[in-house]
Amino acid sequence: MENKTSGSVQSVERAFHLLELLADNGDSTLTELSAAIDVPAPTTHRFLKTLVSLGYVRQLPNRQYGLGLKLTRLAGRVDSQLAPIVAPHLDTLAREIGESANLAVLEGHMVVYIAQSPSRHAMRMFTEVGHRAYTHLTGVGKAILADLPDEQMARIVGRAGMPAATDRSITDLTKLRKELGRIRRNGYATDNGEQEPGVICYAVAIPDVPISMAISVSGPTFRMTQELAKEAVPLLITEARAISDELLGVLG
């Protein structure tokens, strides 16, 4: 009986490992997934078949596997639990800095904005809750990428591609690596008109939490001065740590 229980627990661990791999790497083949979890292909196929039948994984026409739509409901529940924890910190940022404050999470190979406290100004950042964006174009995305191992970062960017949104966009992996190195040294990321012309964003990753996420403040170039950055970055770091402490308290 003990062996069966142990085997059942291991099967659950492997099933969740498969979901995490698909979240991190995007659509993948059976061979890739089997190699990643170090389990024979027939066994991996059985795990995937079960997950497909439950709706948590879907099989694509090209025979690759991707995350299933049923996970959207679970993700929505998680987002709704995060919002009350994060909202006061975003409100503090928006009030103190005077610009829109955002929280974004890594979802597959894109970032998704899941909470926002708007600027008091009439001219605001146009990013809205629910907006999906490329990691290499955004302050929050680059802050998250800088917090990941290089191999995982390269997989995420490779899956998504590196299209340009403006003439300031980074579209070369070598240049992105240099940018991520700068972010690690400085402790914060910047989007200087790379996603949206005339908009600057400062962002910081939330440290030590199991979900890759970041917070940011964004506004038009003429208001996002170097003087404002000197005020915004330390406050972002403080609020990021406070969010981390609260989330870790909830997660136990």
Q: Is the pLDDT of residue 91 over 80?
A: yes
In tens, the pLDDT along 28-71 reads 899 999 998 989 999 999 999 999 998 888 898 888 998 887 77
For the residues 70-86, what does the mean pLDDT come to?
A: 68
The count of other CB atoms within 10 Å of the CB of residue 191 is 26
Mean pLDDT of the chain: 87
Render 111-178 in DSSP notation, one character per residue: EEEEEEE--SSSS-----TT-EEEGGGSHHHHHHHHTS-HHHHHHHHHHH----SSTT----HHHHHH
For the residues 118-134, what does the mean pLDDT come to?
A: 75
In tens, the pLDDT along 187-218 reads 999 999 999 999 999 999 999 988 899 999 99
Q: Is the pLDDT of residue 124 over 70?
A: no
In tens, the pLDDT along 98-110 reads 999 999 998 878 8
Q: Is the pLDDT of residue 156 over 60?
A: yes
Structure tokens at 171: 């579209």
pLDDT at residue 217 in the model: 96
pLDDT at residue 187 in the model: 95
| 189-192 vs 132-134, strand pairing mode | unpaired
